[in-house]
Structure 1
């Protein structure tokens, strides 16, 4: 409905025509079409909300557990990667047919875009799930500046490999640390090859193995506090 204002300008709309006043200007334009929600767009919005909620809950817990800051753009990229784990007909607790059933989509995702895992490391651990319900991780010999590629001014690093269970199909996304291996690395000596074996719970959810390298220098600075590289090294369903 259009109405006449005190300055004798029209305001409002008549059918598909809208009257617009911009300072001393007066003009008309077509009324924009309303956005019609389809079943597909409603479903997509529901998945986006579910992913955003679960990812944020998980991310805050995970970064606190690892003791690393959230690098710039990490949240958006991590949320997009978590979206790739969504599958249908998984019977999630959200009350619909959307669930999180493809954790393998996380493998290789790096936490810090300024220090990508593939640029800081030159070694490839192998993973073997044993029939006894244990995971065996084989790590090769690690040498400074060969298998570990440090940033400028760093003199040592701590490599932490963490195995955890996470259930994205639960509202609170509970996380349980299953095992942790810490290795100190510097230029003085090589770290020999080793096998790391730990038991795996038969809990619901995912089994995730995350590698994290924290670099250090003799004169620790604010910049070095963010000198870390981390990535999902292995991801699968728990109990499989």
Structure 2
């Protein structure tokens, strides 16, 4: 419906035309066409919305591990990669798949800080698997720190931290978490092969394992002085799954 005011300016709509008054001038536009979403489109949109919620749950759980030392767009990148990993499960119907019932291995390798990718700073290959008892097993091969670990400038000590969390992704449910720390000395000839096994994790929970390098200096008078920052905080996802 359209109206004409005292200045003969039309406002409103007639058929497919929309009349507006902009700074005293008559503007005529076509009505925007309505977009009819298909059922598949609606399901995809709903799935992405769910991924945003799941990613938020994971981000909150990771706060103590990441302590804010991520790149600016990490949150958006995590949501996007979580969604892409979910999409690889083509055997399941959209709207029915979740990280708790789907193969999420495509999330492994996600870097929390693109300024200092974990894969560039820690070269040994971490072998990680979830056994039939739902215990996460981590195997770190023997390695030489001088050639296979990139240290921060003027630091000679580091820690490899592997942090594991299991969650059903419900906002009101606490996560189950555990971790271990491997000390690394720059001057060591070799770090022997190391294995670690978690306690059994709850069934039907999504399991996420992350790893990062923490650099520090010490002397006999002070405690450890960690030097990680927003430019140097190598951290990534090393395992994602549990279905």
Aligned residue-pair number: 231
1:137–1:220 CA distance, 2 compared to 1 (3 A): closer
Aligned residues of 1:88 and 1:99 also touching (Cα < 8 A): no
Within a 5 Å distance, the mapping from 1:3-82 to structure 2 comes to: 3-64=3-64, 66-69=65-68, 70-82=70-82
Give the distance between the partners of 2:186 and 2:83, measured in 1 at CA.
40
Aligned residues of 1:57 and 1:172 also touching (Cα < 8 A): no
Give the distance between the partners of 2:155 and 2:84, measured in 1 at CA.
35
Cross-structure match for 2:233: 228
State the shift of 1:75 in Å.
Answer: 0.7
Cross-structure match for 1:185: 184
Give the distance between the partners of 1:15 and 1:235, measured in 2 at CA.
54
1:10–1:139 CA distance, 2 compared to 1 (3 A): same
Aligned residues of 2:130 and 2:242 also touching (Cα < 8 A): no
Give the distance between the partners of 1:206 and 1:109, measured in 2 at CA.
16
Q: Partner of 1:209: helix, strand, or coil? A: strand
Higher relative contact order (CA closer than 8 Å, sequence separation 6+): 2
Give the distance between the partners of 1:174 and 1:204, measured in 2 at CA.
14
Within a 5 Å distance, the mapping from 1:132-151 to structure 2 comes to: 134-151=135-152
1:181–1:75 CA distance, 2 compared to 1 (3 A): same
Give the distance between the partners of 2:195 and 2:225, measured in 1 at CA.
32
State the shift of 1:233 in Å.
Answer: 1.3
1:80–1:14 CA distance, 2 compared to 1 (3 A): same
Return 5+ residue gaps in structure 1 as ranges.
Answer: none
Cross-structure match for 2:203: 203
Return 5+ residue gaps in structure 2 as ranges.
Answer: 219-223
Instruction: With the length of structure 1 as denominator, give the TM-score of the two structures.
Output: 0.80
